Amino acid sequence: MNFPRPTKRVILAEQNYPLHLVLFLVTVLTTLWAGAFWSGYSVSVKNFSRFITTLSAGTTYAAALLLFLSVHEFGHFLAALHHRIRTTLPYYIPVPPLPFLFSLGTMGAVIKIKERIPSTNALFDTGISGPMSGFAVALGLLLYGFFNLPPAEYITTIHPEYLMKGGLQAPPPEGSLSLGKNLLWIGLEYFIAPKNLPPMSEMYHYPFLFTGWLGSFVTALNLLPVGQLDGGHITYAMFGRKGHARTAKLFLGTIMLLGSPALFELLLALFKPESVSLIPSQLLHCSWSGWILWSLILSRVIGINHPPTAYDTALPFKRKLWGWCSIAVFFLTFTPVPFRVI
């Protein structure tokens, strides 16, 4: 079955290049700003010359994070261009570091597909190309970070208080935000076994590890098999509409269960703080309230259903094999409790 498709030249000519460039440059600025902040620098716009000088401290973080985001989104774009699907270049989303936000300098990047996807093969290729190419970058960042850790004393240049507490083995300060471990991290930690690996509550000061972890986390979020997320595209192409619908409901329910204990604790802390101690701590350590917010976004904003392509067909064996590889990547990168306040 043939469909009239625009040429690649037409798709490229339709792009709003000035807008994409401006958004990218502003995102470069905000990620440099965030990178300097996570490196332990106080960044203030009141002194412009000092502000510009301090931004250089965030170069590694900004370059690594933008590399991951760009490879992920251009993976989608190039796959769509290959199938001659009308789509936009990536829109980068800058967010300046704000004192009341866990700010990374950006909310990511997105492309906008302007037409119905013509076939199951095109849907699969466009969906899988982003997370798999982005995962390759995230894995590379993690490997480089694990094999090129600074000396254990590095963190004391940022937090001298560790010297008084007996080194990195001392418990982190109360109220510290700690990152969670996924299977990929646990495996790298086990096989590489670096002696100077910092605690998860200090990972922000190690830009390669931090951005590699962020890349893994974002990859897992995108590979959730719900709605029109990348994982939803892959699941629909592999298992059809019914298979996608069943899987989407299963995973939506799973993340709601993962978030419920932490949300219950938060509500008790607000309205009945004396009862918080009754919740088993082991249960809270396996929960993150952010999953409730994410499930609401998926169910109420993005939607859990997937529209059909113009021409649904069964995937060939090679694409199915790649699909199973992406499912394996999801389980490697999924972090049940990505953030936890100690």
**What are the CA-CA distances from residue 150 to residues 95, 126, 177 (Å)?**
29, 38, 21
Distance of CA 223 to the CA centre of its chain: 10
73 Cβ partners below 8 Å, 6+ apart? 90, 109, 110, 111, 130
Worst-scoring range by mean pLDDT, 1-5, 7-11, 26-30, 67-71?
1-5
The rounded distance, in Å, linking the Cα atoms of 210 and 216 is 10
Residue 180 has pLDDT above 90, yes or no: yes
- CA distance between the termini of the chain: 58
pLDDT digits (tens, 9 = 90+) for 295-335: 999 988 888 999 888 888 899 999 999 999 999 999 999 99
Q: Say if CB 67 and CB 137 are below 8 A apart.
A: yes
The rounded distance, in Å, linking the Cα atoms of 11 and 15 is 7
Residue 198 has pLDDT above 90, yes or no: no
- CB-count exposure of residue 238 (10 Å: 0-12, 13-18, 19+): buried
Q: What is the pLDDT of the chain when averaged over all its residues?
A: 87
- pLDDT band (50, 70, 90) for residue 219: very high
Worst-scoring range by mean pLDDT, 51-55, 194-198, 295-299?
51-55
Bridge partner residues of 339 (DSSP): 179
Helix %, strand %, coil % of the chain (to 5): 65, 5, 30
Check: pTM over 0.75? Answer yes or no: yes
Position 70, amino acid: S
Average pLDDT over residues 37-52: 70
- 259 vs 42: which has the higher pLDDT: 259
Average pLDDT over residues 180-209: 91
- pLDDT band (50, 70, 90) for residue 165: low
- 54 vs 211: which has the higher pLDDT: 211
The pLDDT, as a whole number, for residue 272 is: 66
Average pLDDT over residues 31-59: 78
The rounded distance, in Å, linking the Cα atoms of 326 and 102 is 28
